Structure 1
Amino acid sequence: MQQKNSLDEKVSKNLLLLEAALYVAGRPLDLKELCSVLTTRSKNKTKKYLKLLIQIYSSRKTAFEIIELKEDRYVLQLKAEYTHLVKKLVNRPLLSSGPLKTLSYIAYRQPISQKRVIEVRGQHAYSHVKLLKEMGLITVERSGRSLALRTTDYFADYFGLALETAIMKRELKKIFETEFKEEK
């Protein structure tokens, strides 16, 4: 009986650790990061705990859910049906309109040279690119003498878009078309 209790305590502790990590991160975490939280190298063990935590969240009446994303990544997030109800409580948007437009342009045209982004968006786009890179939304890679810009997996996860560039571009096109129609 003593052994069963200590086993239950270990399971409970590991579930709490995973839940805490997902909450504090505020972003998707990959299996490697979650294994390190449990101080184990066993991806299978960590996956079992995650599946159990997902089941627990599914069975509870809660506003949160844990989602398994592609490439063994997991995120704790607000369920979609509650987003519009609490949206007004968010103090400020993630990005102001200038950097957001620059990010949209990069996402839709990626991979794109920084030079081209500056030509289209203007000199202020240098500071936008710096900010977007610091936020982890884009990567900047040297491509010969110029810099190539593209979005990160974090960008795709944050905005709920596909990781694959071609699919992401189609999704963005639909979003832009919808926004354009609503503005008319």
Structure 2
Amino acid sequence: MSKKTSRIDKRLCNLEAALYSAGRPLSLEDLKKIANTRSDNVIRRLIRRLIKRYESRKGALEVKRVDRTRVALQLKPEYDEMVKQFNRKPLLTIGPLKTLSYIAFHQPVDQREVIEVRGSHVYSQLKTMENMGLIHRERADNRSYVITTTPFFSDYFGFSHDPAYTKIQLKQIFKQLKITKLENGEVDIEELEDEDLEKILANSRNGLPEGLTQYPGAANESA
């Protein structure tokens, strides 16, 4: 084995270890530090090699680009159903997940719209999700709040940090699940089946990923 090949293998192992330990998508900038390079081209070539290495193994794990700037080591979707028996307690139950999926698809969205669609009972859900760091609420001029999702939401559920791209990802998932309950191109969240929703917003571990040992705000709750 040449020194060059050995150096590449070492870099690939370091990237693999970082992605596994993080338990969430890592940015190209993070991975460049792990690989000890400043070059975008070098890190992209290494990522392509790592992706192909996992493809050649034909195992249950895959290295996948989450978006243009982040990469994740994750369980292949076809194994999600099989591992459910080993899942931990979900981060959220179905009701809050419906509210969160509506926010993710329509963001930035006025809180009054969310209340109108989901009902007044979601006030407590919004507060909980805000405390968990899944959403951000900013006071608008009309005395209401504008709601968006957070980077923690994106990392936990495997979506892009770009809300516009998150919507594209959600649409792709709807298409894959053959969900046709759309009105004027928008998703009717109330008509989604629980099973579909779990697939849309469900981490394969269905509990906090290893790299996210607690959600933002958890420390405040235990204080």
TM tier, shorter chain?
A: 0.7 to 0.9
Partner of 1:130: 130
Q: Across the two proteins, how many residue pairs are aligned to each other?
A: 176
Task: Determine helix, strand or coil for the equivalent of 1:76.
Answer: strand
Bigger helix share: 1
* CA deviation after TM superposition for structure 1 residue 50, in Å: 0.8
Partner of 2:193: 179
Q: Deviations over 1:129-153 (max 9, x none)?
A: 3234x2xx33434544543112356
Task: Determine helix, strand or coil for the equivalent of 2:130.
Answer: helix
- Over 3 Å counting, the alpha-carbon distance change for 1:20 and 1:159 in structure 2 is closer
List runs of 5+ in structure 2 lacking aligned partners.
Answer: 180-186, 197-223
Point out the more displaced range, 117-126 or 95-104.
Answer: 117-126
Partner of 1:111: 108
Point out the more displaced range, 27-36 or 94-103.
Answer: 94-103
* CA deviation after TM superposition for structure 1 residue 68, in Å: 2.0
TM-score with structure 2 length normalisation?
0.63
Matched, 1:163 2:165: yes
Partner of 2:91: 94
Residue type of the alignment partner of 2:124 = H
Task: Determine helix, strand or coil for the equivalent of 2:101.
Answer: helix
* CA deviation after TM superposition for structure 1 residue 175, in Å: 7.4
Structure 1 residues 30-109: aligned runs within 5 Å: 30-109=27-106
- Over 3 Å counting, the alpha-carbon distance change for 1:127 and 1:71 in structure 2 is same
Once residues 195 and 18 of structure 2 are traced to their aligned partners in structure 1, the CA distance between those partners, rounded to angstroms, is 40
Asked whether the equivalents of residues 118 and 126 of structure 1 are also in contact (C-alpha less than 8 Å), the reply is no
TM-score with structure 1 length normalisation?
0.74
Task: Determine helix, strand or coil for the equivalent of 1:124.
Answer: helix
Q: Percent identity at matched positions?
A: 40
* CA deviation after TM superposition for structure 1 residue 111, in Å: 1.9
- Over 3 Å counting, the alpha-carbon distance change for 1:112 and 1:178 in structure 2 is closer
Partner of 2:22: 25
Asked whether the equivalents of residues 138 and 152 of structure 1 are also in contact (C-alpha less than 8 Å), the reply is yes
Asked whether the equivalents of residues 156 and 163 of structure 1 are also in contact (C-alpha less than 8 Å), the reply is no
Once residues 70 and 166 of structure 1 are traced to their aligned partners in structure 2, the CA distance between those partners, rounded to angstroms, is 11
Asked whether the equivalents of residues 103 and 147 of structure 2 are also in contact (C-alpha less than 8 Å), the reply is yes
Point out the more displaced range, 140-149 or 78-87.
Answer: 140-149
* CA deviation after TM superposition for structure 1 residue 78, in Å: 0.8
- Over 3 Å counting, the alpha-carbon distance change for 1:77 and 1:153 in structure 2 is same
- Over 3 Å counting, the alpha-carbon distance change for 1:41 and 1:142 in structure 2 is farther
List runs of 5+ in structure 1 lacking aligned partners.
Answer: none
Residue type of the alignment partner of 2:61 = F
Higher relative contact order (CA 8 A, sep 6+): 2
Higher Cα radius of gyration: 1
